């Protein structure tokens, strides 16, 4: 299960056999837990990662997609203050009014926590060998789809709407020859760049097959 964590081990260096995508010298960026677009994150790792496998991209939905539930959460947090002007709970004893307000804040906290976890743990991981799509349902259930880079048949970028155009995010549909024929990366930042990286990785895999360097 590709849970992401910070590795204590130094990444394995590969020989520069030829100058292609994953053998170029890339600047390693620090692993940022809350970033939505991490290109060659330094010290990023996940469970079941092969020793020589290198993480190219870690993606989440663009942060702007959280705006809806954040606005709702703010409204829910300030809702009890309305009771000062509209005492709709006045018919209850004071102790029950207090319990009702506390219950309201507990429900609001659970709503915020659930939406944040959904954004944080729904991740896409692209390595030099595989593509992972991790769908977080709840704390005890996740659905993970993966496909090898050489199984990718087609990559489609789907954009639409002024908001997506302004903030530069969209969906990427990956058609594969794997057991699950389609992997969808939803609302990821810089979709054109992600698609280009996937195409470069496919070319690299084909070159490795020709040269007999397939792991």
> What's the CA gap between 205 and 203, in Å, rounded?
5
Shared domain for 130 and 86, answered yes or no, is no
pTM of the predicted structure, to 2 decimals: 0.79
Q: Sheet holding 37-39: strands in order across?
A: 37-39, 55-59, 123-127, 130-138, 141-148
Residue 215: which pLDDT band, with cuts at 50, 70 and 90?
low
* Boundaries of domain holding 178: 4-61+122-211
> 136-142, long-range: CB within 8 Å, 24+ apart, which pairs?
142/1
Q: Do 133 and 200 fall into the same domain? A: yes
Say yes or no: 187 and 136 in one domain: yes
Domain identity same for 57 and 147: yes
Please indicate, yes or no, whether residues 25 and 78 belong to a single structural domain of this protein.
Answer: no
Is the domain of 207 the same as that of 126?
yes
Please give the span between the terminal C-alpha atoms of the chain, in angstroms, as a whole number. Answer: 21
Residues 200 and 194: their CA atoms lie apart, in Å, by 10
Rounded to an integer, what distance in angstroms lies between the CA atom of residue 83 and that of residue 38? 44
Q: How many domains does the chain have?
A: 2
- Same domain flag for 126 and 93: no
User: What is the Cα–Cα distance from 149 to 128, expressed in whole angstroms?
Assistant: 7
Radius of gyration over alpha carbons of the chain, in Å?
22
Which of 86, 116, 146 corresponds to the end of one domain?
116
Q: Are residues 37 and 100 in the same domain?
A: no
28 & 88 share domain: no
Q: Which of 82, 100, 116 is the last residue of a domain?
A: 116
21 and 75 housed in the same domain: no
CB proximity list for 45: less than 8 A, separation 6 or greater:
4, 5, 6, 7, 9, 55
Give the domain-ending residue among 96, 116, 136.
Answer: 116
- Decide if 194 contacts 188 (C-beta within 8 A): yes
Work out whether strand 130-138 and strand 141-148 pair parallel, antiparallel, or are unpaired: antiparallel
Q: Which residues contact 111 (CB under 8 A, 6 or more apart)?
A: 69, 72, 73, 76
Are residues 127 and 42 part of one domain? Answer: yes
User: For residue range 146-179, what is the model confidence (pLDDT) as tens digits?
Assistant: 899 999 999 999 988 899 999 999 999 999 987 8
Q: What is the pLDDT of residues 89-146, one digit of tens each?
A: 667 677 777 888 888 999 999 999 999 999 999 999 999 999 999 998 877 788 888 8
* Number of residues written out for the chain: 215
Of 32-46, 109-123, 160-174, 183-197, the poorest mean pLDDT is in: 32-46
Tell me how far apart the alpha carbons of residues 175 and 198 are, in angstroms, rounded to a whole number: 12
CATH number for 175: 2.30.29
15 and 42 in one domain?
yes
């Amino acid at each position: 299960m590709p849970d992401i964590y910070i590795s204590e081990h130094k990444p394995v260096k590969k020989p520069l056999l030829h100058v292609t995508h994953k053998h170029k010298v890339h600047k390693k960026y620090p692993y940022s837990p809350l970033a939505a677009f991490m290109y060659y994150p330094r010290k990023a790792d996940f469970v079941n990662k092969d020793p020589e496998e290198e993480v190219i991209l870690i993606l989440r939905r663009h942060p702007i997609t959280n705006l809806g539930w954040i606005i709702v959460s703010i409204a829910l947090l300030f809702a009890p203050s309305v009771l000062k002007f509209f005492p709709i709970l006045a018919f209850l004893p004071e102790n029950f009014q207090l319990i009702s307000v506390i219950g309201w804040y507990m429900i609001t906290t659970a709503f915020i926590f659930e939406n944040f976890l959904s954004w944080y743990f729904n991740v896409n991981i692209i390595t030099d060998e595989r593509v992972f799509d991790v769908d977080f349902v709840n704390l005890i259930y996740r659905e993970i789809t993966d496909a090898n880079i050489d199984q990718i048949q087609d990559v489609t970028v789907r954009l639409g709407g002024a908001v997506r155009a302004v903030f530069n995010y969209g969906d990427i549909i990956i058609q594969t020859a794997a057991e699950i024929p389609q992997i969808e990366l939803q609302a990821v930042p810089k979709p054109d760049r992600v698609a280009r990286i996937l195409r470069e990785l496919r070319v690299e895999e084909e070159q490795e097959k020709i040269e007999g360097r397939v792991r």
